[in-house]
Amino acid sequence: MSQSSEKVTRLSLWLFGKPAWEIKALEGGDVTPTLLKRIEALGKELQERLQWTAKVARELLDHGWDGYGALYDICFYKPTPLEQAKKELKEMGLDPGDFSLEEEEIDGDFG
């Protein structure tokens, strides 16, 4: 058996954060009509964001990525170098800049 390494690209899709992260005037602020409008607007933004996220996640799964849920996002990984992953995302019609992407080198015994 020989020791070798494999490059894996990890991709993160942000879902949503704590309410005070999403609405800056929320924590410690007064409840005002302006705050309530911001909460309503965030509901619409979240709906669009989560629908887009689900669509992208389906496409990633269809292209051989594996995923898992995290606290505020869902993460995907694929045994491919970062530059190849970026190329694949572009071919899928996605902008690699829309994602948090990291390349890791995984050591292991293969053979």
DSSP state of 97: G
Q: Which two tokens stand for residue 110?
A: 């293969």
Is residue 37 helix, strand or coil?
helix
pTM of the model: 0.82
Domain 2-110 sits in CATH at: 3.30.70
**Where do the structural domains in the chain lie, given as residue ranges?**
2-110
Residue 103's contacts (CB-CB under 8 Å, 6 or more residues apart) are 7, 8, 9, 10, 81, 82, 85
Cα end-to-end span (Å), the chain: 5
Q: Is the dihedral of CA 93, 99, 104, 106 positive or negative?
A: negative
Is residue 25 helix, strand or coil?
coil
pLDDT in tens, 47-106: 999 999 999 999 999 999 999 999 999 999 999 999 999 999 999 999 999 999 999 998
